[in-house]
Structures are given as C-alpha cells and as structure tokens.
Structure 1
Amino acid sequence: MDQPSRLAGTVRPGGRTARVRAAVLEATQDELVEHGFHGLTMDQVAARAGVGKTTVYRRWGTKAGLVADLMNELANQSSAHADTGGIEADLYANALAVVEAISDRRLGVTFQAVIAAATSDDQAAQALRGFFQRRIEEWANVVDLAVERGELPKGTDGAEVIRAISAPLYYRLVVTREPVTEEVAEWSVARTLAAARAGTFAVKARRAMGVREAVESRG
C-alpha cells in the first residue's frame, strides 16, 4: 500500500480550495496520530489547519467525513502495483509495501486509528473499506499478469490472493500486537503463493459449492 506518511501534492498552485483541503487533511491526520478517532474534533482540526470552523463543518460535516476524505486522499497518493516480471517478486513487493506502511510512525498510527473507528462508526468503516478496495483492485493486477504468463492457474482470483497476503500482517498489527517484520511478509508470500500455485484461489467457488451441496444433501 505504499503511500507517503505525510500528505503531499494536494495543493494546486493558486488554488485556495485545494490549499484549504490540504491543510485540513494534514491537520486531520495530525489529530488522529496524537489523539485517535475518538479524540478528534472538528474545532481542533480547524484551529490546527488555520481555517474557519464554519468552512470545516460546511465542507466535511462530521469528523467521520474528515476521515473519509483523508483515506480517499491516501488512496489517491498510493503508488501503482509492482511489475517485476515475476509473481513472487511482485507479491513480495506488495507485502513489503504493507509492512512499510503500517510500521511507519505516522501512517501506521493513522491506520490503527481509523481501524479502531471503523468498529463503531459506519462512515469510518466505509472510508476504510473504500481505501482497501482500491488498493486490492490495483494489486490484483499482478495476479492477472501472472495468470497470463502461465505462472498461476487460470481463474485465480487476484483480489483473494492479495487479501491473503495482507491478512496475517494486519492480524499482527491490530489483534495480537506482534511486530510486523519483513520476515513475516516473506512467510505470508510463501504460503499464499504455494496455495495459489496449487489452485486454491482458482477453485474456491467450486469448493464452496461442493460444501454447500454436501450440507444440503445431509438436510
């Protein structure tokens, strides 16, 4: 998910609206890092950004609206997927990008704050889901390229492969609170790639149907 830890590039020269948005989103991220989602306030964001409270309330409405726009901007600034010419290196690049993002002092804390908010706020959950959906769709392309090169079975679900790469990393980040290292990333890639080469991600729909039919037959 390789994106900068600090927002950049949101300001168009001479564009006051863009400058205001950049300042507000920067302040939103600062407040999330320092106080978390529940400590985030519209008034404090406005003061930190140096803009009027009325402007912030009118444009973003709620603190969840601020977070949604922040996540959208982070997604916009994320880099494109890797294209090394080999699926193992591409998937490792994805896993390493996740490790670097969630290990970053600023960006990692931002993600944890939004993940925590998503458990109790629908708009924050939608913002988080939108961010990850865009990143998953971007990186799923490396799986499609691998299928075209004959490295993976036809019908392999690229999105599910990318989810399988990231899942153990985020589990350590938010559930067990264990270190998320490059070694963990390597393990995740190795396991996921072995499963993908074995056709696990290509036949999941047929297997699910088989389980369902077995259950129905018992009924």
Structure 2
Amino acid sequence: MDGRANPESDGAAGGPEPRRRTGGRSARVRESVLAAALALVAERGFEGLRIAEVAVRAGVAETTVYRRWPTPTALISDAVTELAAQGNPAPDTGDLCGDLRRVAEQITALLAGPGIARLVGATLSMAGDAEVDAARRRFWDTRFASNAPVVERAITRGELPGGTVPREVLETLAAPLYFRLLVGGEQPDGAFISRCVDDAVTLHGGRVGR
C-alpha cells in the first residue's frame, strides 16, 4: 500500500464523498424564481416585474436570477412556458364528450388561478416582443399537444371522422372559454362548458351522446 486514498472508498472510510451534481437545487431555484415572477405579474402586471423583487421573494441572490434570466422579458417568457405544463394531464374517460369536458374544466381551473388571466393577457399585449411571442406560442402548442390524445382516441373509437385534426377540435372547445374568461371576465358555468363540448363535437362531425 502506498498510502494514497482510493477515491472510490472515501465514503465507506468516513471521508468526504464525491460531489454529485444532481440538479436538485438548480430545479428548486428555478421553480422558486418562476413562481415569484408569476405572482408579481399576477399582482401588478408585466410593468411591475422587477428582478430585484423576484429575487427577494424567491429567496435567492439577484445575481442568480440575472445569470439565468438577464431581462424581465426572458423571465416572463420562461414562466409562461412553465405555466403551460401545469394542470394539463390528458383525460381518458373512455368517452369523447367526457374527455372534452375534463379538458374544458382544466382550462377553467387554470385561468381561475390568482392573476393567471392577467398574465395570459399580458403575453397577448406583448405579441410584438419576439421572446414573449415565442413563449406564447409554446404555451398554446404545449397545451394543445398534451391533449391531442383525447381526439386521437375518439377517432380510433369512431366518435370522430378519420382525418380529424386534433388541434382544430381543441381550438373549437377552448376558444369560447378563453374569450369568456379573458374578454368577458366571467367564469364559465357547467351549462356553458356543456355547450362548448357539444359545439366542438358536432362541428367536427361527431355525435353528442345523451
């Protein structure tokens, strides 16, 4: 034995274990910062977003935020992209109308979150900014793609004609919900959601079950 430490046995001998980069802290920091950014925009709009205050709310150094998101626009773009994946599992009730109703309820629940309607509205008003516009497109693409299996399964079951485009069905369902929430400022009730589901099915050649 030459007395040199074997790096693979340090942990077993009570010495320091090799440093592992798991990304755990990085993920937590990202989650905290994006949550703080969303909360600020919800309270004050995009014009009220300040990197310094985001850092304070997230409990991280301001330089940590600037390293990942050099501008408020970059931060809000990432936050919108993150928002798209929230509360959006594709339902599978075995019935097209049942699935579409669940999707409609997901949309309604998402936009009912504190300040979320204001955030989505802010991205629309900032469509001239390439970074925000790209985030807005990612938001819609992610939402529609994740629920496309609802329509694909309905085609397989014969509830919709072959060749039906999933995104078109989902757009027909979602458009009146977003309009009522973002433009009308009203929360859709059960009757309104049912009407949206019926319209989406019938307009794309399906039959509404009773």
Moved more, 123-132 or 107-116: 107-116
Relative to 1, partners in 2 of residues 1:26 and 1:13: Cα closer, same or farther, differing over 3 Å? farther
Per the TM alignment, residue 30 of structure 1 is displaced from its structure 2 partner at its CA by 1.4
Aligned with 1:19 (options 17, 21, 28): 28
CA distance in 2, matches of 1:170, 1:142: 19
Q: Alpha-carbon deviation of 1:106?
A: 4.4
Name the one with the larger helix percent: 1
> Partner residue of 1:95?
104
1:126 counterpart = 2:134: yes
Name the structure 1 match of 2:155: 147
Judged with a 3 Å threshold, the aligned counterparts in structure 2 of structure 1 residues 15 and 185 are, in CA distance, closer, same or farther, namely same
Residue 31 of structure 1 is aligned with which of 30, 36, 40? 40
For the residues of structure 2 that align with 1:132 and 1:89, how far apart are their CA atoms? Answer: 22
Q: CA deviation at 1:146?
A: 0.7
Q: Aligned residues, how many?
A: 187
Say if 1:36 and 1:113, in contact at 8 Å, map to a contact too: yes
Q: Which residue type is aligned with residue 162 of structure 1? A: L
Q: After TM superposition, where is structure 1 displaced by more than 6 Å over at least 4 residues in a row?
A: none
**Superposed CA RMSD:** 2.3
**Amino acid paired to 2:96:** I
Mark the runs of 5 or more structure 2 residues left unpaired by the alignment. 1-20
1:157 to 135, 151, 165: 165
Alignment map for 1:1-219 (pairs within 5 Å): 15-116=24-125, 118-197=126-205
Greater shift, 37-46 or 65-74, is seen at 65-74
Per the TM alignment, residue 173 of structure 1 is displaced from its structure 2 partner at its CA by 2.1
The 3-state SS of whatever aligns with 1:112 is helix
Whole-Å separation in 1 of the counterparts to 2:130 and 2:181: 22
* Residues 153 and 80 of structure 1, relative CA distance in 2, 3 Å threshold: same
Structure whose CA Rg is larger: 2
Quick one: which amino acid aligns to residue 198 of structure 2? Answer: A
Structure 1 residue 86, shift from structure 2 partner:
0.9
Worse overlay, 100-109 or 81-90: 100-109
Shift of 1:152: 0.8
Query: How many Å apart are 1:93 and its aligned residue?
Result: 0.9
1:90 and 1:38 map into 2 onto residues whose CA distance is 38
Q: By how many angstroms is 1:179 displaced?
A: 3.6
Unaligned runs of 5+ in 1: 1-11, 200-219
Q: Deviations over 1:115-159 (max 9, x none)?
A: 44x334321221121011111011121111111111111101111
Take 1:183 and 1:13, find their aligned partners in 2: how far apart are those partners?
A: 48
Q: Distance in 2 between matches of 1:188 and 1:76?
A: 23
Which amino acid in structure 1 is aligned with residue 73 of structure 2?
A
Distance 1:65 1:189 in 2: 36
